[in-house]
Amino acid sequence: MSLKERLVEDMKAAQKAKEEGKVRLSVIRMVRAAIKNTEIEKKTELDDAQIIEVIAREVKMRRDAIAEFSKAKRPDKVQEAEEEIAILMEYLPQQLTEGEIRQLAKEIIAETGAQGPKDLGKVMAAITPKTKGRADGKVVNQIVRELLGS
């Protein structure tokens, strides 16, 4: 079953769950709308890898929103965004741990022969495709910078 089909099935289940599925239903509808908008923008049907990118982008938007809601002292909105992230994470592949990211970064630094901070772009270009949808780009960048000594 493709990711798109799974979203449709989960949306139907959330509709049947009435009150308990309200948040889930709104999140799934929002993701489906984002997918549809991306398809219209690119004028093509998205495959699972591209859908994962859309979902990862939605998770990132919510993480950024959590930071803003925390600054504004809005715990209700923070909790709401965290619930949405939890639902979205179900559709993403298993996330890499910090240790796994660190190990992958060390391997890529060795492969590319990166010497220091000036090689950050080279390492990030090699590691990004391997972590896409499986790790937050900020975390990956931070670990690579740390390992390169910048």
CA–CA distance, 150 with 95 (Å, rounded to integer): 26
SS (H, E, C) 81-150: HHHHHHHHHCCCCCCCCHHHHHHHHHHHHHHHCCCCHHHHHHHHHHHHHHHCCCCCHHHHHHHHHHHHCC
Where residue 150 falls among pLDDT bands split at 50, 70, 90? low
Residue (of 114, 130, 132) closest to 122 by Cα position? 114
Query: With contact defined as beta carbons under 8 Å apart, do 88 and 62 qualify?
Result: yes
Residue (of 148, 141, 78, 72) closest to 106 by Cα position? 148
Q: Which CATH architecture has domain 3-89?
A: Orthogonal Bundle (1.10)
108-141 per-position pLDDT tens digit: 988 888 888 888 888 899 998 888 878 888 889 9
CA–CA distance, 133 with 96 (Å, rounded to integer): 10
Most confident of 19-23, 78-82, 109-113: 78-82
Query: Which secondary structure element, helix H or strand E, spans residue 37, and what is its range?
Result: helix 22-42
The domain spans of the chain are: 3-89, 98-148
Mean of the per-residue pLDDT values for the chain?
A: 90
Pick the CATH number of 98-148 from 1.10.10.410, 1.10.10.10, 3.40.50.10470, 3.30.70.1230: 1.10.10.410
Report the predicted TM-score, pTM, of the whole model to 2 decimal places: 0.79
| Fold match flag (3-89 vs 98-148) | no
Query: With contact defined as beta carbons under 8 Å apart, do 66 and 76 qualify?
Result: no
Residue (of 49, 56, 51) closest to 38 by Cα position? 51
